[in-house]
Structure 1
Amino acid sequence: MAQTTDSDETGDTPRRKWKQDPDGVRSDILRVAREVFAQKGLSGTRIDEIAARTSTSKRMIYYYFADKEGLYREVLADAYRQTREAEDALKLADMPPEIALRKLAEFTFDNHQRSQDFIRLVMIENVHEARHMPDASDMSGENSSAIRMLEDIYAQGLAQGTFRNGFTAVELHWHISALSYFNVSNRATFSHIFGDRLFDDAGQATLRQHVGDMILRLVMI
C-alpha cells in the first residue's frame, strides 16, 4: 500500500462498491477531485473532502492513485483527455477547410466556457510551472490529435488555395486556445474593470463568432 499523508487515514472503512464497479469508483473519484482541485488548488485540497463526496474511502483513493499528487496528476491527464475526445467527435474531415476551421475554433470557445474547471486546473498548473503535468510522451498521443486535425484542415486549405502559407498547426492551436482561454481565465478581473456585458448570453455569442472570424481572417487569402 502506498504511503498516505493525512493523519486520520486509518480510520476509514472501505466500502463495497469499489469491488463491484472499480472503473465507476475511479471515475467518480476523478470527477469529484477535478471539482475540488479546480476550486482549491493542489495545496488547499484535502483527500478527506474528496472521499466524503464520493462513494469510496480515503484508503481506496490511495489504492487507486498512491497519494494526493498522484490523484492531481491523473485529474490533469483526464481533463486533457476529455477535451481531445470532444474535439475528435466533431468529425471535421469531410467539411470544407474554412468551415472546419471555424467549427473547431467556435467549439473550443464553447468547450472552454462550459468546462471552466478545466481552465482553472490549467491556470493552477501554470502557477506550478507545469511540474505536475504528465510526461510529454504520455500526453503527446492524446494532444497530438488536435494538432493532426489542424494540420489536415490547414493542408486542405492550402491545396485549395483558400489559406495562405506561413502557419503551423501548433501556431493555429495557440491562437484558438489563447482567445478561448482568456474568456474564462480573466473573466473575473476583466468584468470587474469593464463590466460583464461581454459575459452574458448575447456577449458570449458575439465573442464566439468573432473568434471564428479572427482565426479565418488570419489564414485566408
Structure 2
Amino acid sequence: MAMTEDATAEDTKQMRPAKRDPEGVRRDILTVAMEEFSQNGLSGARIDEIAARTRTSKRMIYYYFGDKEGLYQRVLEEAYRKVRGGESDLELSGLDPVAALDKLCRFTFDHHRRNPAFIRMVMIENIHHGRHMQLSDTIRGLNRPAIEELQSVLKRGQAQGLFRPGIDALELHWQISALSFFNVSNAASFSLIFGDVLFTPEGQEQLSRHVADMVLRYVLRQPDRHDPG
C-alpha cells in the first residue's frame, strides 16, 4: 500500500536531526575542551577529539572560537569565571569578618581539590608565561573583585578590633591560594613520597580546616602580653 503524503512528511521530519541549541553547543565544547587542554596542554590537545566528543565539527568549533588558541583562552576564562562566581555566591558581606574569612579559605581549598582541571589549566598557562591571560581583559576583570572583597573583609575585621592592622589583601590572597594550590598541583609527587594519608576524604577535610585555621591565626589580633586579662 502506498504511503500518504502526510505519513511521508512525518517520517522525513523524524529522520531529520534535531537542531541543537547554539548556547548549549558552546557549553559542551567548553566543558570537553577543559578536559582536553587540562590533560594534554595547549600543544597536545586535539580539536578533532573535542569535535568528536561533542558531536560537532572542527569548522563549527572554529566558527564559535576562532582557532585553537582562541578556544584555549575561552576555556581559561570560563575556569576563572567559575571560581570567582563561587566566591560571589558566598555572600561574605553578610557574615561577621572571622566567619567570612574562614568560609573563603574553606571554599578556595575545597573548590581547588574538586576542580583539578582548573589547577592544571593555571599550571599550563604559567608554562606559557601567562601569554593568554595578558590578552584577556575578561580574566583581569574577573579577578580584580576577589582582592576587593578580601580587602573589605579585612577592613571590617580591623574596624571591629578582631584583625591586626597592616595586612595586605593581595598578599593574603596569595597565601590562601598557595596553600590550596599545592594540595592539587603536587598531589601525585607528595603522595608517592610520603603516602596518601592526606589525600583521603578525611585527610582532605582536615587540611581544609587547618588551612583556614592557619590563615585566621595569622590575621587575628593577638592579645597584649602585658594585659592581665
TM-score of the two chains, using structure 1 as the length reference: 0.89
Deviation of the 1:142 alpha carbon: 1.2
Aligned AA for 2:175? H
- Aligned 1:51-66 pairs, distance under 5 A: 51-66=51-66
Residue-by-residue CA offset, 1:37-89 (whole Å, 9 max, x unaligned): 00010111110000000032111000011111110011001100111001101
SS in 2 for 1:133: helix
Deviation of the 1:139 alpha carbon: 2.1
Q: Which runs of 5+ in 1 are unaligned?
A: 1-14
Preserved CA contact (<8 Å) 1:73 1:134: no
Preserved CA contact (<8 Å) 1:88 1:145: no
SS in 2 for 1:163: coil
What is the aligned partner in structure 2 of residue 6 from structure 1? none
What is the aligned partner in structure 2 of residue 173 from structure 1? 173
* Greater Cα offset, 132-141 or 43-52: 132-141
- Aligned CA distance change for structure 1 residues 76 and 110 (closer, same or farther; 3 Å): same
Quote the RMSD (CA, aligned, Å).
Answer: 1.5
Deviation of the 1:98 alpha carbon: 0.6
Aligned equivalents of 2:88, 2:134: Cα separation in 1 = 21
Q: Percent identity?
A: 59
What is the aligned partner in structure 2 of residue 106 from structure 1? 106
TM-score of the two chains, using structure 2 as the length reference: 0.86
1:197 aligns with 2:191: no
Aligned equivalents of 1:72, 1:185: Cα separation in 2 = 20
- Aligned 1:1-221 pairs, distance under 5 A: 20-133=20-133, 135=135, 137-221=137-221
Deviation of the 1:206 alpha carbon: 0.9
Deviation of the 1:138 alpha carbon: 2.7
Pair member with larger Rg: 2
Aligned equivalents of 1:217, 1:36: Cα separation in 2 = 40
Residue-by-residue CA offset, 1:61-120 (whole Å, 9 max, x unaligned): 000111111100110011001110011011111111011001000110000000100001
Deviation of the 1:16 alpha carbon: 6.5
Aligned AA for 2:178? A
SS in 1 for 2:133: coil
